[in-house]
Structure 1
Amino acid sequence: MGTSWGLYTTLTGILAALLLLSAMEKKGALDSRQVSVIAVLAALCAAGRAVTGVGLLFLQPTMFLVEITGFVYGARVGFFTGAMTPLISNFFMGQGSWTPWQMLCWGLVGVSGAVVKALFPQAGNKTLTAVCFLWGYLYGAIMDVWQWTVFMRPLTWQTYFLTWAAGFSFDSLRAAGNLFFCAALGHQTLKILQYFHKKMNIQYLER
């Protein structure tokens, strides 16, 4: 039964990630500039996560970058950048049945940046910092669903609460890291990404 639930949970994560990837792709083909942005930012995020993931535990200076990417470049670029981050970095940190769920979570971080932009167009780094802080806990709560269904028996609200409570200190560390890095680096990162976004939108007229 445990093996079956582990398989079902993994397949659910894969299906959810694939459905969202497909939905984002069908909104319109990504142009070469967007693909370049995704490749560069996903590589930076993956490198930061892989390098700091072991030595600094959950203090990873990357989730805020995915959030700001979605805020500046939109939901599609934010989602693809976020989803590629754990996929790439887990080649160094370890692939497993948790990878699709991590891809889903990180992708949703990027989408949330676009949602903040849509709801609060004039939002600044303070708003993004608050959202990143909340994602420290929300990420843990979603990933706890994977851990709960794979390792815990019986599957009840009580056992889920115990799973969540056991990881609360790690979630708090992640949230604190997100808060620190976004507060310290978010403002300048936002300005840089907005600058390059404006450069991308420049249209040259033929003479």
Structure 2
Amino acid sequence: MKINWGLYTTLIGILSVAILMYGMEKKGELNARQVSIISVLAAICAAGRAVTGVGLLFLQPTMFLVEISGFVYGARVGFFVGAMTPLISNFFMGQGSWTPWQMICWGMVGISGAVIKVIFPHAGNKTLTVLCFIWGYLYGAIMDLWQWSVFMNPLTLKTYILTWAAGFSFDSMRAIGNLLFCLALGSQTVKILSYFHKKMNIQYLKSL
């Protein structure tokens, strides 16, 4: 009996996304300000990915923004901005069994930004740029697991390496694009999002 690994891989992706979303939501209720910032940033990222996804291939000005969202606003906001980006943009680029895996990858990009903030509180744009460059390749390696399980036979280390090698040039384009966008726009983006983050945290006291 032939095992349908593609089906199992898709189910694993869906279950993983559901668990991550549930876990992030249970950390504490999202307030109205957090929901609004997630909606705005996810819409911007999805629009940037959908518009440039076809014309510029993998040179998309979005992954660095997801990473910086996590860096400024924390793991929950970073994860939800990242996870919603492919879910929304794929309505224009094409939904499929790859979508849950993309949601996991983009969500982890947002979380990684928050992790960097915890480990290196004073990290600058150079650190974020290096991380974003690495994610260009790491994203491809993770998504290759989905492609390998769905399209390759037999499922061996050799066939995975061949799958990864076939997409290495595209991963390199993504990594270089991330590098360029983060170098050009990263510092200013951090300043803008940090400004709005401070505005969101202002508490207005009622007069006694």
TM-score tier after normalising by the smaller chain length: over 0.9
Contact 1:75 1:110 in 2 (8 A): yes
Question: In the TM superposition, what whole-angstrom CA distance separates every residue of 1:97-152 from its partner, at most 9, and x where no partner exists?
Answer: 00000000000000000000000000011100000000000000000000000000
Letter in 2 for 1:108: M
Q: Distance in 2 between matches of 1:124 and 1:191?
A: 11
Partner of 1:171: 171
Q: How does 1:31-180 map to 2 (within 5 A)?
A: 31-180=31-180
Q: Distance in 2 between matches of 1:123 and 1:12?
A: 34
Contact 1:2 1:151 in 2 (8 A): no
Question: In the TM superposition, what whole-angstrom CA distance separates every residue of 1:77-111 from its partner, at most 9, and x where no partner exists?
Answer: 00000000000000000000000000000000000
Q: Report the Cα offset of residue 205 of structure 1.
A: 1.2
Q: Give unpaired runs (5+ residues) of structure 1.
A: none
Q: Distance in 1 between matches of 2:148 and 2:22?
A: 27
Q: Distance in 2 between matches of 1:194 and 1:123?
A: 14
Task: Give the match's secondary structure for 2:4.
Answer: helix
Report the TM-score when normalising by structure 1.
0.99
Q: What is the aligned residue count? A: 207
Task: Give the match's secondary structure for 1:83.
Answer: helix
Q: Distance in 2 between matches of 1:125 and 1:72?
A: 12
Q: Give unpaired runs (5+ residues) of structure 2.
A: none
Computed over aligned residues only, the root mean square deviation of the Cα atoms, in angstroms, reads 0.9
Q: Distance in 2 between matches of 1:18 and 1:131?
A: 26
Q: Report the Cα offset of residue 68 of structure 1.
A: 0.2
Misfit runs of 4+, over 6 Å: none
Q: Report the Cα offset of residue 2 of structure 1.
A: 7.1
Q: 1:194 to 1:2 in 2, by over 3 A?
A: farther
Contact 1:59 1:177 in 2 (8 A): yes
Q: Report the Cα offset of residue 6 of structure 1.
A: 1.0
